[in-house]
Structure 1
Amino acid sequence: MRIAFFAWLFSITLLLSFGISTVPVHSQCLNDQSSLLLQLKNNLRYNSAVSVKLVNWTQTTDCCRWKGVTCDKEGHVIGLDLNRESISGGISHLSSLFSLQFLQNLNLAYNNFNFTQIPPSFGNLTRLTYLNLSNANFAGQISIVLSSMTTLVTLDLPTLYFPGATSLKLENPNLLKLIQNLTGLKTLLLDGVNISAQASQWCEAISSSLPNLQVLLILRSRSFSFRLGQNNLSAQVPKFFADLPNLRSLHLCSSNLHRKFPEKIFQVSTLEALDLSGNSYLQGFLPQFPSNGSLHTLVLSKTNFSGTLPDSVGNLKMLSRM
């Protein structure tokens, strides 16, 4: 009897451990979601010889199985990744994209939207937590509607900047107005965006509005430059970075930084990556590092740092690049 009982128990355990857990769970796309995606495909211009996602979207297959599409268990589209899909031209504010009401993650990076403005209809995507429009050739003033997207955790807006080229800019609304409601942001990437505010203003905006910020990227951004009388364009690195309790990554390379770098920033225990390269007038020295330091990347090339390497660099057990 006991042998029979244990045999039964063993078979049930196998069924629960293997039989049930290995059955693939795949949601079926809702008709309205499929229709919206096909409308989007038909209204976008893209190179079918380069595309690997859009080109394979067909009415005969379940849209939840399409490349670049993620669905929830009810069949709503919650993720759309059209990164590097050779999309060209603008995107209409009436696009069916903005009717995907359950969308949480959207990636349109590395396409060519032909220096058009970011459509205000992005504000319709009220569930969005991740928005990546990096290097997609959007240009002009960033719409105030992005400030209403209060669920955003990651806002990725880097743009390739060339002298004389049209780029994304933050003038009206300025940076403060854009981020004042985005208190959940953990990652803010503004590489190459023209931020019109003085350094003191955008620093105050970030420190007061983004308590959860972990990653800030403002490479080659003109935001670090402001005019002091007849002096050359320059800016001092703000001390407030040392007060961000969750800061993990800070990239400020080639940003025309001057004066002394605040040594307390080196001592932020959560900081994992710091890149100050390409700021030839930025001065400073390496202080004593904390025993619980997390730095694994420290780049100071082409800066004006001086002094000796402190013994406490040995505290940085994870340091792999310097």
Structure 2
Amino acid sequence: MALFELLFLSLVLVSLSIKTTILTQAHCLPHQSDALIQLKQGFNTTELHSWNASTDCCIWDGITCDEQTGMVTALNLSYMQISGNINPALFNLSSLRYLDLSWNDFHGVPQTGFEQLDNLTHLDLHFSGLVGQFPRGIFNLSSLQYLDLSWNNFDNITLPQTGFERLANLTHLDLANSGFTGQVPIRISALTNLMYLDLSNVIYPSYLHDTGLKNLLSNLTKLQVLHLDGVDLSLCGSEWGKAVFQVGPTLQDLSMADCGLRGNLPHEIFHLSNLTILDLSGNYMLSGELAEFTKQSIWQYLDLTDINFTGSLPDSIGNLQYLSVLNLYNCSIYGEIPPSITNLTRLEALQLGSNTLIGTIPMSLFSHPSLESLSLSHNQFSGYLPEFSNGSSNFEYIDLEDNNLQGQLSISRFIKYNKYLYYLDLSNNKFSIIEGENHNESFYASFPQIEFIQLPSCNLIDFPTFLN
């Protein structure tokens, strides 16, 4: 009995504690509510119905308050389909630690006021339709850890060359494709806590001078993600590899597409111990050989489009057991596809177009359990395509244009058993394309919703019924 009474007393105390917490939880302060209502008045939106001055703002959509003080600490209005202006009343919410206004369409960004949000640790304004000048008040946010201004339009302006070094706690910086131009600020190198850096610029020209990449990365030894797509690095010459290797073993994701890289592709880049994603596509002045891949390789994504390789695909490509995307389009590789490629059981996209590959296409690729996109166009493959007899294929995209493939192919059956297919290009081969046997209506009942089909120069004998 004593044990039962003790348990009962414990439950009573817990219940009282919970009720006390609920009763003492602070409500939204009037000046915080007023600031939010002013902010809403500048918006055009069909959302934010809960933002009613007669209710507690701490229960409004997108609002989080401190339970003890009632001050607004987080404002998340992402994906709210808001247009209009950002009212300066926003900056009266001085206790904000988290601010996310992404995926909206504002008419501009206040040039002053951000400096008042000195408790802010997270600021996300990407895809917000922001225009105008860079809001320099952001440089006063010494507690900031996360800053994303990507995919806006800051009027083709040059980024401030000083100021970023004051954001010493920053771990995430994304300025990609925001309308900035000119030289990348080298002072970003002072942000030694950075783990994510994206300065990609495929819209306006930006660049680093001859030692710029080396200086930019010299202190960023914690980087896990580095994206510089479209930044002109041609002045760095062949030293770009040494600059990247300064980052060290923390690097997991490296993207430097269309950067004007030149020289030989360093083999060491294939052996960075934690690198799983590599995109060097579009650097047509790079050359080299594909490395031998060990069984310890952890690659997940490789895009080396337009690099001038000498040689063939190594048989060790089959060791890339975690690879989901392999893109070697227009890479001057020759020879046959090694049979070991079918060991890549997680492969979802294979792009080997515009090379000088010969021989037959491994038939096992057409029954691959995860492959969705296969592009082998503009090569010299020969042989036959398989007759599919079941619906196990996951293909959505097949491009075999301009090869020497031959034989008769029942186009309706081929498409029927690639049940997710929306794109098919078989043009300029040596096929005889036939409709095949007569099919009843049930055969076409679950036919793929194919959107694009190319069959020129395929000796089309019968017009496909599914195209009627």
254-263 or 210-219: bigger deviation = 254-263
Are residues 1:79 and 2:122 paired? yes
- Measured after TM superposition, the shift of residue 258 of structure 1 is 5.0
Residues 239, 29 of structure 1: alpha-carbon distance in 2 compared, 3 angstrom cutoff: farther
259-268 or 52-61: bigger deviation = 52-61
Structure-2 residue corresponding to 1:113 = 154
Structure-2 residue corresponding to 1:159 = 201
From 309, 325, 332, the equivalent of 1:282 is 309
Are residues 1:220 and 2:258 paired? yes
- 8 Å CA contact retained: 1:275, 1:299: yes
- Measured after TM superposition, the shift of residue 189 of structure 1 is 0.5
Q: TM-score, normalised by structure 2?
A: 0.52
Are residues 1:182 and 2:220 paired? yes
Are residues 1:256 and 2:260 paired? no
Residues 260, 292 of structure 1: alpha-carbon distance in 2 compared, 3 angstrom cutoff: closer
Question: Unaligned regions of 5+ residues in structure 1, if any?
Answer: 38-48, 70-74, 226-234
- Measured after TM superposition, the shift of residue 295 of structure 1 is 1.1
CA distance in 2, matches of 1:101, 1:320: 43
Are residues 1:244 and 2:272 paired? yes
Residues 194, 113 of structure 1: alpha-carbon distance in 2 compared, 3 angstrom cutoff: same
Residues 128, 253 of structure 1: alpha-carbon distance in 2 compared, 3 angstrom cutoff: same
Structure-2 residue corresponding to 1:40 = none
1:63-117 Cα deviation digits (max 9, x unpaired): 4575449xxxxx921010010121212225xx22111110000000011122222
- Measured after TM superposition, the shift of residue 311 of structure 1 is 3.8
1:5-55 Cα deviation digits (max 9, x unpaired): 5556678899999x99xx998446979x99xx9xxxxxxxxxxx9648946
Matches within 5 A, 1:111-150: 111-119=152-160, 120-150=162-192
User: Which protein shows a greater Rg?
Assistant: 2
Question: Unaligned regions of 5+ residues in structure 2, if any?
Answer: 26-57, 59-63, 76-80, 103-117, 351-468
- Measured after TM superposition, the shift of residue 273 of structure 1 is 0.5
Matches within 5 A, 1:1-322: 1=1, 2-5=3-6, 26-27=65-66, 51=83, 54=86, 58=90, 63=96, 67-68=100-101, 76-91=119-134, 95-119=136-160, 120-161=162-203, 167-171=205-209, 174-222=212-260, 224-225=261-262, 235-264=263-292, 269-277=297-305, 279=306, 281-283=308-310, 284-289=312-317, 293-322=321-350
CA distance in 2, matches of 1:300, 1:244: 20
- The percentage of aligned residue pairs carrying the same residue is 26
Residues 29, 221 of structure 1: alpha-carbon distance in 2 compared, 3 angstrom cutoff: farther
CA distance in 1, matches of 2:99, 2:238: 46
CA distance in 1, matches of 2:13, 2:195: 43
- Measured after TM superposition, the shift of residue 320 of structure 1 is 2.1
- 8 Å CA contact retained: 2:213, 2:236: no
1:290-310 Cα deviation digits (max 9, x unpaired): 657321211223333333333
Q: CA RMSD in A?
A: 3.8
CA distance in 1, matches of 2:209, 2:222: 23
Residues 66, 307 of structure 1: alpha-carbon distance in 2 compared, 3 angstrom cutoff: same
123-132 or 285-294: bigger deviation = 285-294
- 8 Å CA contact retained: 2:275, 2:298: yes
What letter corresponds to residue 175 of structure 2 in structure 1?
A: L
Residues 68, 107 of structure 1: alpha-carbon distance in 2 compared, 3 angstrom cutoff: same
- 8 Å CA contact retained: 1:54, 1:85: no
- 8 Å CA contact retained: 1:220, 1:254: yes
CA distance in 2, matches of 1:15, 1:264: 67
Secondary structure of 1:309's counterpart equals coil
CA distance in 2, matches of 1:81, 1:11: 44
- Equivalent residues, number: 283
Secondary structure of 2:335's counterpart equals coil
CA distance in 2, matches of 1:127, 1:303: 41
Q: TM-score, normalised by structure 1?
A: 0.73
CA distance in 2, matches of 1:312, 1:11: 67
- Measured after TM superposition, the shift of residue 200 of structure 1 is 2.9
CA distance in 2, matches of 1:82, 1:269: 37
Residues 173, 242 of structure 1: alpha-carbon distance in 2 compared, 3 angstrom cutoff: closer
Greater strand percent: which structure? Answer: 2
Structure-1 residue corresponding to 2:46 = none
CA distance in 2, matches of 1:179, 1:310: 38
- Measured after TM superposition, the shift of residue 138 of structure 1 is 1.0
User: Higher relative CO (CA 8 A, sep ≥ 6), structure 1 or 2?
Assistant: 1
197-206 or 2-11: bigger deviation = 2-11
What letter corresponds to residue 102 of structure 1 in structure 2?
A: S
- 8 Å CA contact retained: 1:217, 1:252: yes
- Measured after TM superposition, the shift of residue 219 of structure 1 is 0.9
